């Protein structure tokens, strides 16, 4: 049972480059989330999707876009990467909006 | 953005010691969650609490939902080497979004 799968695991970008982080879950969950984790700051919500077809901004959405491609997949796009976006990105899913979140193993992104 | 106050930030303990950490908030929460994160991995749910005053155990771990609904604690009894990692609390209020603590890093003294 894979749970939440994120790709890639590591990525290095130059300032101004674009990329898409992929996330897929096989638990038939309705809600999916993108977080970033920076040292000493816990987890900050970037975007979430409460159900297929809907997306909403979280605490730190600037510089990011998302697509809920279908129930399984939720991607995060950086159109023009900046060094401030160097972070570890986690995708998560939950069955219902009040349920605990299940996390993937993260994408470690460095922007130079 | 709003954050929970999680303390301590880090703990150096001897194997076999008991551990206690807590989270406090200025807001009332309906749910408290405790997660553990190992290096290079995502957070994994340890315990979920849904009712004020609730005390729940998961093996050597025990967590409580504070009666004021503004705090929660996590205890680990008789720590072992695999307990090292970062422990996060998260609280959920009426708008169902989770608010996260900054984490407690647990380190076993050699």
pLDDT digits (tens, 9 = 90+) for A28-78: 999 999 999 998 778 999 999 999 989 999 999 999 999 998 999 999 999
DSSP B54-91: -EEEETTEEEEE-TTSSEEEEEE-S--GGG-EEEEEEE
The Cα B77–Cα A110 span in angstroms is 38
- The CA distances from residue B16 to A28, B59, B103, in Å, are 40, 15, 22
Contact A93, A29 (CB under 8 A): yes
Alpha carbon A77 to its chain's center? 9
| For testing contact with chain A, the best of B8, B42, B90 (most A CBs within 10 A) | B42
**Nearest-CA distance from B16 to chain A in Å?**
27
From CA A24, how far away is CA A30, in angstroms rounded?
12
Do B88 and A4 make contact, defined as CB atoms within 8 angstroms?
Answer: no
Q: Quick one: A96 exposed, middle or buried, by C-beta within 10 A (0-12, 13-18, 19+)? A: exposed
Q: Does A27 touch chain B (CB under 8 A)?
A: no
pLDDT band at residue A14 under the 50/70/90 scheme: very high
The pLDDT tens digits of the residues spanning A21-36 come to 999 999 999 999 999 9
Give the pLDDT confidence of B60-69 residue by residue, as tens digits: 999 999 999 9
Within an 8 Å CB–CB cutoff, is residue B63 touching chain A? Answer: no
Cβ-based contacts of B97 with chain A (< 8 Å): 45, 48, 58
Evaluate whether A77 touches A61 at the Cβ level (below 8 Å): no
Is A64:A74 a contact under the CB 8 Å cutoff?
A: no
Residues of B in contact with A97 (CB under 8 A): 96
The secondary structure of A29-96 as a DSSP string is: -SEEEEEEE-TTS-EEEEEEESSTT--EE-S--TTEEEEE-SSSBEEEEESS--GGG-EEEEEEEESS
The predicted structure's pLDDT at residue B72: 98
Q: How confident is the model at residue B3 (pLDDT cuts 50, 70, 90)?
A: low
pLDDT at A1: 63
β-pair partners for A62: none
Q: How far apart are CA B49 and CA B110, in angstroms?
A: 33
CA A81, A88, A85 angle in degrees (round to 5)? Answer: 25
The b/e string for A41-73 (b: 16+ C-beta within 10 A; e otherwise) is ebbbbbbbbbeeeebeebbbbeebebebeebbb
The verdict on B5 touching A (C-beta cutoff 8 Å) is: no
Taking an 8 Å cut-off on Cβ atoms, the answer to whether B42 and A90 are in contact is: yes
| Partner-chain residue, chosen from B3, B45, B96, that has the shortest CB–CB distance to A98 | B96
Q: What is the mean pLDDT of residues B7-14?
A: 94
């Amino acid at each position: 049972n894979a749970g939440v799968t994120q790709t890639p695991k590591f990525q290095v970008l130059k300032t101004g480059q674009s990329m898409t982080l992929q996330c897929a879950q096989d638990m038939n969950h309705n809600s999916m989330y993108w977080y970033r984790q920076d040292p000493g700051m816990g987890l900050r919500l970037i975007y979430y999707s409460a159900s297929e077809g809907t997306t909403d901004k979280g605490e730190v959405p600037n510089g990011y876009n998302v697509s809920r491609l279908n129930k399984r997949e939720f991607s995060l796009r950086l159109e023009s990467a900046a060094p401030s976006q160097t972070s570890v990105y986690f995708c998560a899913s939950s069955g219902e909006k009040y349920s605990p979140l299940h996390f993937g193993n993260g994408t470690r992104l460095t922007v130079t | 953005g709003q954050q929970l106050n999680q303390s301590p930030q880090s703990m150096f303990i001897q194997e076999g010691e008991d551990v206690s950490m807590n989270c406090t908030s200025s807001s009332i929460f309906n749910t408290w969650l405790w997660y553990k994160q190992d290096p290079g991995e995502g957070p994994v749910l340890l315990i979920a609490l849904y009712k004020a005053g609730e005390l729940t155990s998961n093996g050597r771990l025990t967590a409580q939902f504070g009666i004021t609904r503004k705090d929660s604690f996590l205890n680990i009894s008789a720590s072992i080497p695999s307990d090292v990692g970062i422990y996060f609390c998260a609280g959920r209020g009426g708008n169902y979004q989770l608010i996260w603590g900054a984490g407690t890093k647990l380190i076993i003294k050699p």
